[in-house]
Amino acid sequence: DQQVKQNSPSLSVQEGRISILNCDYTNSMFDYFLWYKKYPAEGPTFLISISSIKDKNEDGRFTVFLNKSAKHLSLHIVPSQPGDSAVYFCAASAQGAQKLVFGQGTRLTINP
């Protein structure tokens, strides 16, 4: 029973264009959502997060959108750069749960 799903295992985008990574969740108790970025042979690193009381959070080239009614969030990267090529994990947590639930990741490749 996977509560967080990233249904696109991979995504290829041209440099300079927008990358959109999607994530769906099933647990309505989740109140905080995070995106992590992972390079090969490294651990995931925190990228950006959003609280359930917001529907958008922006940090430079990265914006996360949350649609609570659809239980869906997305990460927008614009403009995409070659260094953005990595695996992106969506994660969620519920108040008091003291743990993150991760999706299975989407491999983003930025083509020059």
Partner 1 sequence: DTAVSQTPKYLVTQMGNDKSIKCEQNLGHDTMYWYKQDSKKFLKIMFSYNNKELIINETVPNRFSPKSPDKAHLNLHINSLELGDSAVYFCASSLTRGHSNEKLFFGSGTQLSVL
- Residue numbers of the site for partner 1 (CB under 8 A)? 2, 9, 31-32, 34, 36, 41-46, 49, 51, 89, 91, 93-105
Least Å distance, CB 67 to partner 1, is 19
Between 96 and 112, name the residue whose CB sits nearer to partner 1.
96
Residue given tokens 């995106």 in the structure block: 35
Report which secondary-structure segment, H or E, holds 66. strand 62-67
Tokens of 23: 């994530």
Is 28 or 95 the residue whose CB approaches partner 1 more closely? 95
DSSP class of residue 80?
A: -
| Tokens 């109140």, residue located | 31
Q: Shortest approach of partner 1 to residue 107 CB, angstroms?
A: 9
Min dist CB 97 to partner 1, Å, is 7
Q: Which token pair is 99?
A: 């743990």
